[in-house]
């Protein structure tokens, strides 16, 4: 799958032409396309933003992206917008900023949209090669992947799922945003292996419980764990003998969110994988816990 092409497909023609002008090397490392109302569109390359020479992005262009991402059903995507993003075809995630519409249950929608962050999904087969022996020594044990936002957690998690599945593990993926497998139409667009079952669109805490009851997995995988309900669901899975593969925001020398710290304290994870970006190159280190 070409994640850059999937991201381009959301853009109006004028902005698409500007992004298409990026050279092959820049396309290969592009992580995000950023559209800010009244300002030049940018591409995030190696952690830095570079202008695309578009001139000011208009309100109409932002609306076009949202309508394309949602199949012209922007208002029908309110549930996703409560979490500040939209899921689009090809595993693309669109972060949305503007004026929050607040209600009894928190943010209900976004109006007067001011900026969009279009995340470029990317499969990198082989990215786990350097750590595979450590990660699976004595058999795969529950692992937590840690990196700052945009640090490559989903890419590594997807590759570990693919390889475990190819080795015969029954893997169940709680793919709330569709970024891991992109299985919105039923068949994963990303290669996640032959023994992988995917539940797309459900909140992770509920998805984990459903997958445990319905699919009898050996491994449960979930991205960006941060809520207490999510942590409780993973703890329940681990207590029942299921191995857990999860990802969370963080970095060496910093602190993890409370629910992930609790999972570490209770011994759910046997290994932690640190992902670091050094001069645009991602490096992985496995830590035994």
The more confident residue out of 145 and 178 is 145
Q: Kindly state the tokens that stand for 177.
A: 């945003």
Mean pLDDT of the chain: 90
pLDDT at 289: 92
pLDDT at 278: 74
* Region label for 76, one of left (φ > 0), alpha (ψ between -120 and 50) or beta (otherwise): alpha
pTM for the model stands at: 0.84
The count of other CB atoms within 10 Å of the CB of residue 76 is 10
Helical axes 228-239 vs 258-265, angle rounded to 10°: 20
Separation between Cα atoms, residue 71 and residue 157, nearest integer Å: 28
Helix (H) or strand (E) holding 245: strand 243-249
Residue 2 has pLDDT above 60, yes or no: yes
Question: Are 144 and 108 contacting, i.e. CB atoms less than 8 angstroms apart?
Answer: no
pLDDT at 76: 54
Listed residue (66, 48, 45) closest to 57, CA to CA:
66
pLDDT at 105: 67
Residue 269 has pLDDT above 80, yes or no: yes
Separation between Cα atoms, residue 15 and residue 10, nearest integer Å: 10
* DSSP β-bridge partners for residue 249: 147
- Cα dihedral 64, 66, 69, 73, rounded to 10, equals -100
Q: How do beta strands 106-119 and 171-175 pair?
A: unpaired
Task: Grade residue 78 by pLDDT with cuts at 50, 70 and 90.
Answer: low
Q: What's the whole-number mean pLDDT along residues 242-264?
A: 90
- H helices of the chain, in order, are 3-8, 13-20, 24-29, 59-69, 78-81, 132-135, 153-166, 204-215, 228-239, 258-265
Task: Grade residue 151 by pLDDT with cuts at 50, 70 and 90.
Answer: confident
**Phi and psi at residue 212, to the nearest 5°:** -60, -45
The domains located in the chain, with CATH, are 3-119 (3.30.450.90), 129-288 (3.40.50.300)
Q: What is the pLDDT of residues 86-141, one digit of tens each?
A: 888 888 889 988 887 777 766 666 778 899 999 998 888 999 999 999 999 999 99
Residue 172 has pLDDT above 90, yes or no: yes
Q: What is the pLDDT of residues 182-240, one digit of tens each?
A: 887 788 989 999 999 999 989 999 999 999 999 999 999 999 998 999 999 999 999 99
Q: What is the pLDDT of residues 23-36, one digit of tens each?
A: 999 998 899 999 99
Helical axes 228-239 vs 204-215, angle rounded to 10°: 20
The more confident residue out of 80 and 130 is 130
Task: Grade residue 280 by pLDDT with cuts at 50, 70 and 90.
Answer: low
Rounded to 5 degrees, what angle do the CA atoms 245, 248, 249 make?
160
Residue 19 has pLDDT above 60, yes or no: yes
Listed residue (167, 174, 152) closest to 245, CA to CA:
174
Listed residue (66, 284, 11) closest to 156, CA to CA:
284
pLDDT at 161: 98
């Amino acid at each position: 799958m070409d994640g850059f092409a999937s991201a381009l497909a959301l853009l109006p023609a004028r902005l698409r032409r500007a992004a298409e002008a990026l050279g092959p090397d820049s396309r290969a490392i592009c992580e995000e396309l950023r559209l800010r109302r009244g300002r030049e569109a940018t591409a995030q390359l190696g952690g830095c933003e570079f202008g695309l020479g578009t001139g000011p992005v208009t309100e109409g262009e932002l609306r076009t992206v949202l309508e394309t991402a949602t199949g012209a059903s922007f208002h029908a995507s309110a549930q996703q917008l409560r979490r500040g993003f939209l899921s689009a075809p090809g595993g693309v995630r669109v972060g949305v900023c503007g004026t929050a519409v607040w209600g009894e249950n928190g943010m209900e929608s976004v109006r007067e949209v001011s900026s969009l962050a279009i995340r470029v999904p990317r499969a990198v087969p082989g990215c786990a090669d350097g750590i595979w022996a450590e990660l699976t020594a004595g058999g795969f044990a529950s692992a937590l992947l840690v990196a700052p936002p945009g640090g490559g957690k989903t890419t590594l998690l997807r590759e570990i799922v693919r390889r475990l599945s190819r080795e015969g593990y029954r893997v169940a993926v709680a793919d709330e945003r569709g970024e891991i497998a992109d299985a919105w139409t039923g068949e994963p667009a990303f290669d996640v292996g032959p023994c992988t079952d995917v539940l797309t669109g459900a909140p992770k805490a509920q998805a984990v419980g459903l997958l445990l009851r319905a699919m009898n997995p050996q491994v449960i995988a979930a991205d960006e764990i941060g809520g207490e309900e999510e942590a409780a669901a993973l703890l329940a899975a681990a207590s029942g003998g299921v191995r857990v593969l999860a990802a969370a925001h963080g970095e060496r020398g910093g602190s993890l969110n409370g629910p992930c710290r609790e999972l570490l304290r209770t011994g759910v994870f046997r290994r932690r994988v640190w992902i670091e970006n050094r001069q645009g190159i991602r490096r992985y280190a496995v830590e035994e816990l």
